[in-house]
Amino acid sequence: DGMEGTRVAIIVHGGAWAIPNTLRPRCLDGVQRAARAGYAALRAGKSAMDAVVAAIHVLEDDPAFDAGTGSVLNAAGKVEMDAMIMDGSTLRSGAVAAVEGVKHPISLARLVMEKTPHCLLVGEGARIFADECGVPRVPAEELVTSEAQAEFAVFQAKYQNAVDQLFNKSEADAEESTIGHDTVGAVAIDINGNIVCGTSTGGITGKRVGRVGDSPLIGMGGYADGRAGGCSVTGHGESIMRTLLASRVVANMEAGAVPDQAAYKALVNMFERVGGRGGAICINARGEVGHWGTTEGMAWASAEGCDEEPRLAAGVDNEEGYRSVGPA
């Protein structure tokens, strides 16, 4: 088929947080399905851009993940979503933030990149743009799951601070309250060696209306540079923003660090500087994949190879990474 011997790869994540044991099998299944979908696109000769979107669609449609369907509710009990995508070959990017009523925010982000001169559209402006592009409006309730509603009720009753609850807590707490979720993301390299990253999220339960975290922001929630590599991150958004996590991972790869090490160094830096935990997935310019996380759990899966059937790897436990940055 003219593609024999051409290596392609994709790695995806389903968020780094204290994933309750009850949700782990669903998360593991979801990220593996997403990685397979992305790999199938790459094997069919499609671009890394198409592969990242295909993989993230699987995660946005899976209610186990906080993106698209299954997004968490903000302080007003509504879903506001954020997403970004970036093309490492041209450094073009597109993003949306605080957008409502869209089934696949990642696709809307791609439209921002392809159909406007801009990088980021927010709120009502993003929704108007979606209408102009013929993206159907999805009734809010279609994106809301019973889990998200239950979590919101728990949040209202108990916590003023969902952020600490999610990213900086112990397993015992996680079992007691499944407040949670986080971002989804993907990074892919295609047969032409192009690298693309994408990130999509519903944010944090009970977040202030209009709060935007790292996910849709270039260099924070994701970054791709074809000369160095690509990265999508997840975790405590404000910590990620303050340390430019994704661009730091890519800079580490550019400086010669292998992907795992590049992610590890950037995450250790984030913990040491601002006390935040998170996770990262990345691919370098040679097509090598890596990941690291400093939260208790991070669902991830990678699919790479030259054949019809990929070499698949996946995980959800994060014991080593969690312990790599000292006591919680």
Annotated catalytic residue, options 69, 183, 199, 205: 183
Nearest to 292 by CA among 314, 269, 313, 261: 261
- Range 265-287 burial, b when 16+ CB lie within 10 A, else e: bbbbebbeeeebbbbbbbbbbeb
Partners of 203 in the β-ladder? none
183 in active site: yes
- Range 148-157 burial, b when 16+ CB lie within 10 A, else e: beebbebbee
Q: Which amino acid is at 264?
A: Y
Strands 92-99 and 120-122: parallel
| Euclidean distance between CA atoms 212 and 202, whole angstroms | 10
Question: Could you tell me if residue 235 is left (phi over 0), alpha (psi between -120 and 50 degrees) or otherwise beta?
Answer: left
What contacts 95, CB < 8 A, 6 or more positions away?
A: 82, 83, 84, 85, 109, 112, 119, 120, 121, 216, 217, 218
Please return the burial class of 170, using the count of CB atoms within 10 Å of its CB with bins 0-12, 13-18 and 19+: exposed
Enter the tokens of residue 122: 């927010």
Catalytic (active-site) positions: 183
